[in-house]
Amino acid sequence: MTPLLKLSREMKTEVAYTSLGQGQGPIAERMIEKARKEGSWAVMQNCMLAPSWMNNLERIAEGMTVDTCHAKFRLWCTTYPTPDFPVSVLQNGVKMTNEPPKGMRANIGGSYAVDPIGDGDFFESCSKPEKFKTLLYNLCFFHAVIQERRTYGPLGWNIGYEFNMSDLAICCRQLVGFLDDNADIPYKALKYTAGECNYGCRVTDDKDRRCLNCLLDRFYCAESTVEGALLDAAGEYVVPNGNGDLEFYRDYVDKLPLVSTPGVVGLHDNANITKSQFETDKVLTAVLITETGGGGGGGGDSREETIERVATDILHKMPSLYDMEVSRERSEPRAKRAASEAS
């Protein structure tokens, strides 16, 4: 919703939105009808919570034509993946997915690019700027860790939770409030709001909840506010200086390792094997889902031939392997020249 509202402000368009649930169907229908006539936007949030109303949504969408809708009218629907969402609406609409970036560096960098962290005024709004910026970086690091653990399947979480940027945003605002209202840093309150309320409200497995709070203890503690403190066992990630501006932290994140090891999320190096198997299973499962269920008339390719053709097409589109030895030989002379010039 945050980027959607930002887009509406840039386009100077009115937005009406409602979170679907019990009793919200008639309100949503009146909202869509009004927006359709006036040329504004209507946003239906959390469609997965109103499966009984999805038939009405399908009927409304089928009745929309160029002649009956204002040119600036837009109907937005937000939902988690659910079989109850109308297929016809998906087929006739523009679909967008919002998934966390892959890798620690990309994940942390993405956090510094969106509201409220990406807002310079918010970034400098705390009365304790050094502690705030340090704890904010640790919070973004924690957010990246729990997102990365999802890529390890059952090794990461017993249940694949849908953590998102809304959880991080509310934790950031609470962090400012707690630091402004207290002389000392209230770590206990920060851990409770983040671990039990914001992120923890999604966690239903007791072992996952324990794991989440153990991870949070690494980042919300007095030791983690000291510059140079280790954030992982290998020492690849440390706490940066707390006196920088927003661009300083963005540049710092850009210099983090491109590929992260399982140790940064608290797992053994052998977890990479499980991660690769998990990702392979997901890809192959997605390919199998796209297959047609029954056979048609004669003359078509068999199922195995279709899969082989698609796999071959993907293989031909893949770029060639990156030669690490050649690149290392080319980069070392440049690195030595840069070091000599700097000295």
* Architecture in CATH of 2-92: 3-Layer(aba) Sandwich (3.40)
The arrangement of secondary structure in 104-265, i.e. its CATH architecture, is: Orthogonal Bundle (1.10)
Q: ∠ CA(2), CA(215), CA(175), 5° rounding?
A: 45
Q: Domain coordinates of the chain in residue numbers?
A: 2-92, 104-265
Residue 285, number of CB atoms within 10 A of its CB: 9
pTM of the model: 0.72
Average pLDDT, stretch 316-326? 83
Distance CA 32, CA 45 (A): 13
Q: Which residues contact 165 (CB under 8 A, 6 or more apart)?
A: 2, 111, 114
Pick from 106-115, 249-258, 272-281, 301-310: least confident = 301-310
Question: Rounded to 5 degrees, what angle do the CA atoms 266, 163, 106 make?
Answer: 65
162 pLDDT tier (thresholds 50, 70, 90): confident
What phi and psi values does residue 341 have, to the nearest 5 degrees? -65, -35
Rounded distance between C-alpha atoms, residue 323 and residue 117, angstroms: 38
Contact, 253 vs 105, CB < 8 A? yes
Whole-number Å distance between alpha carbons of 84 and 48:
7
Q: What is the CA radius of gyration of the chain?
A: 24
The string of pLDDT tens digits covering residues 75-102 is 999 998 888 999 889 888 998 887 778 8
CA torsion sign for 184, 187, 188, 189 is positive
* Residues pairing with 74 in the sheet: 41
* 246: helix, strand or coil: helix
CB 155 within 8 A of CB 274: yes
> Three-class SS of residue 44?
strand
Average pLDDT, rounded, for the chain: 87
- C-alpha span between 11 and 193 (Å, rounded): 35
Integer CA distances (angstroms), 55 to 34, 36, 58, 61, 127, in order: 20, 19, 5, 10, 51
List, for residues 182-218, the tens digit of each pLDDT value.
Answer: 999 999 999 999 999 999 998 999 999 999 999 999 9
pLDDT band at residue 107 under the 50/70/90 scheme: very high
CA 336, chain centre distance (Å): 38
